[in-house]
Amino acid sequence: MLAVLDAAAQAQATRPILWNIPLAMVVWMYTGAALALGVCLWGFARRARLWRAGVPEPRTDHWPRRLRRVALDALAQRAVVRAPGAGVPHALLYLGFLVLLAATSVVLLQMDLGLPVMHGGLYLWLQSLATNLFGGLALLGLVVLALRRYACPATLVERREPEDALLLSGLFLLLASGFAVSGLRMVATADPWAHWRPLGWATGRALAAVLPAGSLATVHRWTWLLHVTLWSALLALLPWTRLRHLVITPLAQFFGTIDRRQELPRIDFEAIAAGEGPDVLGVRTALELSRKQLLELDACTGCGRCERNCPARTAGFPLSPRRLIADIRDHVQQRREVILAAGAARRRGDAAELERLRGELPSLDGEIVADQAFWACTTCRSCEQVCPAGIEHVRLILQLRQNAAMEKGELPDGLAALPRQLELREHPFCGVPVDRHAWFAEQPGRVPAGAGAALAGSSAGRDA
């Protein structure tokens, strides 16, 4: 009988919407949200316009496989959770905000659409208990991430920019003010369902113990205003901060290469000889970057996983996959107008204007990215395996090498002598007088007896 009474009572569970909030603040909530959404959409449209200036390439095949990758890596956070240290707190922050978003959506369904959904089990289990617990986990994850960024060795984070501190502080205040608003309301109204929000209830009681008598409603009102203003501000700043990865990373993963074995750049010399190939071999300037590569630049958050897993970097070579992407991204943003004009010229088929604009841009290899950096890459693709944004570093590095080698004739020491040694001695070892046929003949079990002399003789006759 008690269980029946409890179930019947729980069916009536709900809370007042916008308790203690005057009409002017409600108007500000909607106005601020609309303005923030407009700024957010404009910011992403501005970035998408720059992506469109890149070289087009087919990236829309195999839709089921692409959607599956987005579901696993972006939505389920598969790539993020695998990262040691930061993976779990990042996942807690992500899941916490997902639950908070779902609970807020229930409020909007009832308040704006008039659907009577914010009561009973949905209110208690989702909007009360789950929201409270996952909000606490999100706050915990945020604190751990902040400690890793500012209290751990500098090797974990390359730069501690003011933007990062403001972003972390804003997210912390957003979560903390949410607990405060909920707790102050429950204390002031003696909410009978307060025990379903243990963290909010504890926050409200702690604030009530230190606030002056009779000030709960006033503090609640202004804390609510801070909460909604922070939400609108973070929404507006989404395209301009590292938070943009929430939108751009799923796009980068969707448009990523399906079969990495077929992804490495190849040059069709027959097409070039027929006058149908590209004007530039490899990547010389930012104008040769594809649309996917321009998108990847914005998807990078600078987490540093690529750098920490790079064997060339570990061995002391001057290669940082993170720095390579960041340097090219900064250059692209600085020369945005030239790239946009070049993209327009490419779309209308104006080759002369495209070539003129290309001459205004510096060469990426050697001027934006140091030669020693991209030649140090071993093409092992460890950076790509651990990148949560799906960035394809190796493809870009090989394209930089192609341009340096085939257009500029610039090769690093040792590698430059390789083609010459193969041509003169038929082996790559400089200054070593070894006949490759004689050496091969001396290996046991390699050739039939007596064949070595014949091979050596044919080699000597050819060299003569």
pLDDT, mean of each 10-residue run, the chain (464 residues): 55 89 95 97 96 89 88 85 80 92 91 88 91 95 87 56 85 96 95 93 95 92 96 94 91 85 67 70 90 94 87 89 92 94 92 91 88 87 88 91 82 66 63 60 56 46 41
Written as six digits, the tokens of 148 are 């890793």
pLDDT of residue 148: 82
**Contact partners, residue 87, CB within 8 Å, separation at least 6:** 80, 81
pLDDT of residue 155: 45
- Residue 444 burial by Cβ neighbours in a 10 Å radius (0-12, 13-18, 19+): exposed
In angstroms, how far is CA 251 from the centroid of its own chain? 10
- What CATH class is the domain 2-254? mainly alpha
What is the C-alpha separation between 85 and 382, in angstroms, rounded? Answer: 18
**CB-CB contact of 403 with 365 (8 Å):** yes
- Residue 458 burial by Cβ neighbours in a 10 Å radius (0-12, 13-18, 19+): exposed
Q: Which alpha helices (H) appear in 335-450, and where do they start and end? A: 336-347, 351-358, 371-375, 382-386, 393-406, 417-425, 436-441
Written as six digits, the tokens of 224 are 């609510």
Tell which residue, 43, 135, 78, has the closest CA to residue 250: 78
pLDDT of residue 2: 35
Written as six digits, the tokens of 286 are 């930012």
| Long-range residue pairs from 206-209, CB within 8 A, at least 24 positions apart, any chain | 207/180, 207/183, 208/184
What is the C-alpha separation between 175 and 416, in angstroms, rounded? Answer: 58
pLDDT of residue 440: 61
Domain assignments of the chain as residue spans, ordered by start? 2-254, 262-406, 421-463
**Contact partners, residue 249, CB within 8 Å, separation at least 6:** 74, 299, 388, 389, 390
**Contact partners, residue 122, CB within 8 Å, separation at least 6:** 106
**CB-CB contact of 301 with 245 (8 Å):** yes
pLDDT of residue 6: 66
Q: Which SS3 state, helix, strand or coil, does residue 350 take?
A: coil
Tell me: domain 262-406, CATH 3.40.50, correct? no
